[in-house]
Structure 1
Amino acid sequence: MADYEERQSLLGDDNDGVSAAPGPDRRMSSISNPSHFLHRLVVLVFMCLLGFGSYFCYDNPAALQTEVIQDLHLNTSKFMQLYAWYSWPNVVLCFFGGFLLDRVFGIRLGTIIFSLFVCFGQVIFATGALVNRFWLMEVGRFIFGIGGESLAVAQNTYAVNWFKGKELNLVFGLQLSMARLGSTVNMNIMGWVYTKVTDLVGSPGHTALGVSLMIASVTCLFSLMCALVLGFLDKRAEKILQKEGRGAGEVIKLTDVKDFPFHLWLIFIICVCYYVAIFPFIGLGQVFFIEKFNFSPAEARLVNSIVYIISAPASPLLGFMVDRTGRNVLWVMVAVVSTLAAHMMLAFTFWNPWIAMSLLGISYSLLACALWPMVAFVVPEHQLGTAYGFMQSIQNLGLALVAMAAGSILDNRGYLVLEVFFCVCICFSLMAVVTLYFVDYLRGGDLNLSGAARAKLHKEATTDAE
């Protein structure tokens, strides 16, 4: 019964914001009532802004690829180490970040701690460029990575905690939209910032680079403020709704990983094989468009950021579509096939790259909206932080390995071989999606249910709980 009341109060199934007892005072205004749609909308705003700074600064190297390589005298392999050092700590720590959210810190304190890591990491990264010490920049990216991916786990866990049910795909889409907005702004503004800083200091070089990166760290401070506000609102809701902490009474163990269902492992494989063909490509894309298509640096930055530009408005729309239609596995399959087509266009044709990159942006948005919510369908709620953390961990293992491999392939073989490598990764993802479809079908799972069927199932589950 308590579980049902908690779900009803947080999901706000009734539009008038009135929940069954226990709950907020009926005289409470809509905006201050934690069970009301308007209040949850405010929470959603801060939830989406939580990762803005992290995503803005994650691709600072990609936005300034030419400048970083020239000012610090690096080759491509060395440059890609900035991405590898971001990913390496999360091979382990991202999983433990999810576990710590579930078992030790709680989601509120954990989110604040991870936000602090993001802030300190970016400042150290910028300081390393300022004093021309590449090893210090790597340390900064390492620290930044500890917080960045764990913060994403916290963001996902907050989303499920407040919006599990028919709204979840839309919420994930909105979160992704804001994250991609951060990446888009970064891609298109950091070159301009570097130019202005260069004018102030008198010449390009590591000093201008360091100051530019330090300016970018302001966005991380903004996200830290959002973490503080979100923690306050979540604590207030817990007190007003008189609910126990998420997963109360459940024992969370690291050994829960061995009990993860086969469905979840397939989701992990899809995630890893897909994302290693997206982020490393974007990290190296600026020079690719300059060399193959004779774009200017400004044009190359713009086309390289189109994936993020499209993702910002498309993600909530596609999330809404997935909410209404269901069929998550089929939508993931469509996204993977479309991504493969986009990479093949970039590899084997000289068509205008705007076509392939626009297709890649839509496909990337669709996959994120359909794939990540599926985790909540196959694991108990008290294990969500652990599951999302493990998913982020193995994703970062793949990203770290592929970042190094991509830099080496590019230095020794060129962009054509690199694109073939990305196509192979997408093919592995496609095989995992097909396997997931048949496994879910044969086991009578609900990953590929229609929206109406899933809503009916959810209604029956809440009725049984009542």
Structure 2
Amino acid sequence: MQQTNFQEHLPEPTPFYRWLVLLFVSLAMFGNYYVYDSMWPVIDLMRTQLDFSYQQIGLLSTAYNVAALCVLLIGGYIIDRFGTKKAITVFALICLFAAFLTAATPHYEVIFAGRFLLGIGAEPLIVAATTVLAKWFKGKELSFAFGINLSISRLGSASADWSTSFASPLYLNWQDPLWLATAVAGISVSAALLYWMAEKRAEGRYHIGHSQAAEKIELKSLYKFSASYWYIVALCVVFYAVVFPFRTFAIDYFQQAHGITREAAGLLSSLLPVAAIILTPLFGLWVDRVGKRSLFMAVGALVMMPLFLAVTYLPAGPDVPLVIPLIGSAMVPLTLFVVIFLLGAVFSLIPAVMWPSVAYIVEARRLGSAFALMTMCQQLGWAVVPFIVGVLNDRNAAGPENIAGYAPSMWFYTSLAAFGLFFAYKLWRSKTGPNAHGLETITSRARN
């Protein structure tokens, strides 16, 4: 108590110090996202050089999500117990060792262990980073700081895709790109250590906010959540179970089914995180001004549903230039460009509306439980789908000699997207009825 009172009499951190902390934490997150996405550009090399099946590769993605579920059951206890300085550094070190394991040997079991360990480190690292921002920016520029942190994190995902261009000489084998990812993980650890030193130096000099302890999931009171909440959870599960597994196989699919180069496939796949970097905050501002949140979610789900059949059955169309400044350029089929651009817009729109909508539906004291439960359900769906897609690709002998073999997995994505549209429609109907929570009507202009 005396220490708390002493802290309250200290001056606030300077803006420069706060933004320096944000930079260090965001760089740690950049490395985290890069390592996660670094495996997807080498799927074809793992299949040819290591003789891995699509099912095995799908399990490598599932391993991460299963590990994430294990960590979510622990919640924020480790972070609360040991503090953000130690936690963010330890979790960054775990991610570094996971990246090393993934790149070190051609043995599937070791690579699997590396991806599982990455889930153990990466998900708590995200929680720790969120906790850091809440401590340093609460009551100040918190939303803006979160937006910058997410943008830099997504830049890590995009950079992993762009590595097919700026690090193309490494893609003669499956291992060298993963060694590059290990080096990037080293940058993440360095940034975490710099944050540790920055906060250590600030202690006793500045008043740093204290984040609230993570709320545990209240299993006994789940029935108290409204139907609207469960519609959002169902949409969340379906949405992430479609988009992220599709990204897992996207670069390989573009190469095998559409015959484009690895560099072009990487640039095309990067449109998803690039769109999120640019469009997510813009969609958030737009929806805050006009409301209609459940309607926007329904529109996003409707746009997403036909996209996977479009890349499967529509004519490729003429090649068009795709240019990422300072990274590279390529010619890609028009149909692929339009479909991935639209999917990137959906990837930006639905999360920008979906997660904040929970705050309108669930009372504040139970919001932590609501978000934790929603995240657990998201990870469950995300864990199952890559394995199923891998099995479908293997059983249908998908490959450049049998492009039609990819069609069943695309129908599977489409079926999931149709469920998403159904849940979004049910949410919209409930929000236009007498028991609405204001998702359609509450706007920033109305509050001003």
TM-score by length of 1: 0.76
Whole-Å Cα distance in 2 between the matches of residues 361 and 277 of structure 1?
13
Structure 2 contact 32–122 (Cα < 8 Å) conserved: yes
Whole-Å Cα distance in 2 between the matches of residues 236 and 257 of structure 1?
43
Cα shift at 1:418: 1.1
1:186 aligns with 2:160: yes
Whole-Å Cα distance in 2 between the matches of residues 257 and 107 of structure 1?
30
CA deviation digits over 1:390-438, x for unaligned, max 9? Answer: 4333222212210110001112242222111111111222222233334
Whole-Å Cα distance in 2 between the matches of residues 384 and 162 of structure 1?
21
- Per the alignment, residue 15 of structure 1 pairs with none
1:127 aligns with 2:110: no
Cα shift at 1:86: 1.3
Cα shift at 1:192: 5.5
> How does 1:65-214 map onto structure 2 within 5 Å?
65-98=43-76, 100-101=78-79, 104-128=81-105, 132-159=106-133, 171-190=145-164, 193=167, 195-196=169-170, 198=172, 204=173, 209-214=174-179
- Per the alignment, residue 324 of structure 2 pairs with none
- Indicate how the Cα distance of structure 1 residues 45 and 141 shifts in structure 2: closer, same or farther if over 3 A, else same: same
Range that drifts further, 335-344 or 385-394: 385-394
CA deviation digits over 1:356-396, x for unaligned, max 9? Answer: 00111111012222223334555577766655444333222
1:261 aligns with 2:261: no
Cα shift at 1:254: 4.3
- Indicate how the Cα distance of structure 1 residues 415 and 186 shifts in structure 2: closer, same or farther if over 3 A, else same: same
- Per the alignment, residue 417 of structure 2 pairs with 426
Structure 1 contact 60–187 (Cα < 8 Å) conserved: yes
Whole-Å Cα distance in 1 between the matches of residues 18 and 287 of structure 2?
21
From 266, 273, 276, the counterpart of 1:301:
266
Structure 1 contact 98–388 (Cα < 8 Å) conserved: no
1:221 aligns with 2:186: yes
From 261, 264, 280, the counterpart of 1:315:
280
Structure 2 contact 25–195 (Cα < 8 Å) conserved: yes
CA deviation digits over 1:67-115, x for unaligned, max 9? Answer: 12112111211122211111111223224234544x5445554333322
Q: Which amino acid aligns with 1:62?
A: W
Structure 1 contact 86–141 (Cα < 8 Å) conserved: yes
- Listed as ranges, the gaps of 5+ residues in structure 1 are 1-20, 199-203, 457-466
Kindly tell me the number of residue pairs found equivalent between the two proteins: 414
- Per the alignment, residue 322 of structure 2 pairs with none
Whole-Å Cα distance in 2 between the matches of residues 237 and 329 of structure 1?
43
- Per the alignment, residue 39 of structure 2 pairs with 61
- Per the alignment, residue 275 of structure 1 pairs with 240
Cα shift at 1:55: 1.1
> How does 1:379-458 map onto structure 2 within 5 Å?
387-413=370-396, 414-440=405-431, 442-452=434-444, 455=447
Whole-Å Cα distance in 2 between the matches of residues 243 and 298 of structure 1?
45
Q: Which amino acid aligns with 1:138?
A: F
Cα shift at 1:215: 2.3
Cα shift at 1:213: 1.3
Range that drifts further, 431-440 or 383-392: 383-392
Q: Which amino acid aligns with 1:189?
A: S
Structure 1 contact 60–213 (Cα < 8 Å) conserved: yes
Whole-Å Cα distance in 2 between the matches of residues 66 and 117 of structure 1?
27
**Cα RMSD over matched residues?**
3.5
Cα shift at 1:137: 0.5
Whole-Å Cα distance in 1 between the matches of residues 20 and 384 of structure 2?
39
- Indicate how the Cα distance of structure 1 residues 361 and 55 shifts in structure 2: closer, same or farther if over 3 A, else same: same
Whole-Å Cα distance in 1 between the matches of residues 139 and 427 of structure 2?
22
Q: Which amino acid aligns with 1:278?
A: V
- Indicate how the Cα distance of structure 1 residues 254 and 298 shifts in structure 2: closer, same or farther if over 3 A, else same: closer
Whole-Å Cα distance in 2 between the matches of residues 431 and 440 of structure 1?
14
Whole-Å Cα distance in 1 between the matches of residues 136 and 220 of structure 2?
24
- The 3-state SS of whatever aligns with 1:245 is coil
- Indicate how the Cα distance of structure 1 residues 217 and 327 shifts in structure 2: closer, same or farther if over 3 A, else same: farther
Structure 1 contact 307–357 (Cα < 8 Å) conserved: yes
Q: Which amino acid aligns with 1:407?
A: G
Structure 1 contact 173–317 (Cα < 8 Å) conserved: no
Cα shift at 1:440: 4.8
Structure 1 contact 446–454 (Cα < 8 Å) conserved: no
- Listed as ranges, the gaps of 5+ residues in structure 2 are 1-6, 317-334, 397-404
Structure 2 contact 138–209 (Cα < 8 Å) conserved: no
- Indicate how the Cα distance of structure 1 residues 394 and 63 shifts in structure 2: closer, same or farther if over 3 A, else same: same
Whole-Å Cα distance in 2 between the matches of residues 385 and 75 of structure 1?
39
Structure 2 contact 33–154 (Cα < 8 Å) conserved: yes
